[in-house]
Amino acid sequence: MSIPRPNVLFVMTDDQTIREMSCYGSETLQTPNMDRIARAGTRFNYCFATNALCAPSRATVLTGCFSHIHGIYGNSEQADAIEVLNPDISTFPELLQKAGYQTGLVGKYHIRQDPRGFDYQAIHPGQGDYFDPVFIENGIEMKMQGYATDITTDLALNFLESTDRSRPFCLVYQFKAPHRPFSPATRHKDMFNEIEIPVPKTFNDDYATRHIAELSEDMRFDISLARDYEDLPQGINKEERKHWIYQRFIKDRFRTIYGVDENLGRVLDYLGEQGLEDDTLILYTSDHGYFLGDHGWYDKRFMYEPSIRIPLVTRYPRLGVSENVMDDMVMNIDFAPTILDFADVSIPDKMQGCSLRPLMEGSAPEGWRSSIYYAYYENSWELHGKGDEAMA
């Protein structure tokens, strides 16, 4: 069956885990719009980021390559240490643009060079702010009033409204949320106030066999995260203090993600209202995972499953596949070749990922991967793992 080239909506959050989507089993945080994508398409249960750090992971998504190929290894903000994407490696938006797609990028970008391959862009400088954020729109910096998640969606809808319906579009729609400092919209600040959210089983890990982990104070709830909360109650013991921090942390994260889901619904509704739903390929994911109190940590980086396992739900109604669940191992190097495959654009030999189209159609090809590769480099430490070893 011949299928026309689809529109592409690529949606990515920052630091979201599979435990923060109801289609993956979350009971406390309900995400009906994320679930809409999964219900009408495919949920991938074992998707992994090749780097648990923002800029390298985002570069991998754009290029379909590992860091040692695309050239982005860290989040360096130092002027003399800025890393740039390998100019010999094409990004999927560049290739779609050359193939006649209208391309747009809104929200967080976080790679220290101008985006490549976009007709329109409105991005945060660096990490960006939640309230009254600055956006750089086609090279012009402007401060916008409101909440970043809402504004990012306003910009996304403006781009969609401006497109020529005789040509396909690709919108890369990326949220700052739920990245620290976990600042929810004012309208959501009281959500979950009446409930107590259980801590993970390893929340009070004593690191008895892991001395290096014990020394990692910059990721500990009871040490570094405490500095974020000026209203931390006084006169409480160490255990009560840690518990208070966890409740504030996890509820604020849930609130920011609820805001993402709410806004995602605006875009999904628009596609339906405009008759674009059947002709739009959607991928929803996160740049990497996050420790939600596991081992007493927040943040990511470490080579543990909570840090590198990410959500991925996809939808393309013209495939005729719904409520599809895949347990095969996939990675974020697969996103770019998947999009190019559906767009009928040749996948460059330098791309190291594989198209997920067969899995989205219901079955993995023979010989599909049974292991993953992950690398994290910082200063003198370099960690590598594959398969079960990476899940330590």
pLDDT higher at 213 or 184: 184
Please state whether the predicted TM-score (pTM) of the whole model is above 0.85: yes
Cβ neighbours for 358, distance < 8 A, ≥ 6 positions apart: 364, 365
> How large a percentage of the chain has pLDDT more than 70?
91
C-alpha distances (whole Å) from 176 to each of 129, 153, 328 are: 8, 12, 29
Q: Which residues fall within 8 angstroms of residue 9, CB to CB, at 6 or more apart?
A: 170, 171, 173, 267, 271, 280, 281, 282, 283
Find the CATH number of the domain harbouring 289. 3.40.720.10
Is the per-residue pLDDT at 347 higher than 60?
yes
Q: How many domains does the chain have?
A: 1
Does residue 2 lie in a domain region? no
The tokens describing 205, both together, are: 């890990």
For residues 58 and 61, give the distance between their C-alpha atoms in angstroms, rounded to a whole number. 5
Question: How many other C-beta atoms can be found within 10 angstroms of the C-beta atom of residue 197?
Answer: 15
Q: Which residue has the higher pLDDT, 73 or 252?
A: 252
241-245, 282-286, 361-365, 382-386: range with lowest mean pLDDT: 382-386
Q: 356 pLDDT band (50/70/90 cuts)?
A: very high
Name the one residue in this structure whose structure tokens are 């689809």.
6
Residue 378 lies in a domain: yes
> Given this model, what pLDDT does residue 263 score?
99
Q: Which of 209, 195, 335, 187 is nearest to 251 (CA)?
A: 195
264 inside domain: yes
pLDDT (average), residues 77-97: 82
pLDDT in tens, 369-389: 999 887 655 554 444 454 444
Mean pLDDT of the chain, nearest integer: 91
Within a domain: residue 263? yes
What are the start-end ranges of the H helices in 42-109?
A: 54-63, 67-70, 92-98
141 inside domain? yes
- Residue 1 inside a domain? The answer is no
Look at 194 and 112; give whichever has higher pLDDT: 194
Give a yes or no: residue 168 inside a domain: yes
Domain carrying residue 285: 7-391
Identify the band that residue 217 occupies on the pLDDT scale cut at 50, 70 and 90: low
Contact call for residues 251 and 198 (beta carbons, < 8 A):
no
CA-closest candidate to residue 255, choices 23, 28, 2, 27 = 28
Residue-wise pLDDT for 120-143, tens only, equals 999 999 889 999 999 999 999 999
Number of Cβ within a 10 Å radius of residue 340: 23
pLDDT in tens, 255-291: 999 999 999 999 999 999 999 999 999 999 999 999 9
Residue 71: per-residue pLDDT: 87
Q: Please indicate whether residue 302 or residue 237 has the higher confidence score (pLDDT).
A: 237
Q: What angle do helix axes 335-342 and 54-63 make, rounded to 10 degrees?
A: 30
Q: Does residue 318 lie within any of the structural domains?
A: yes
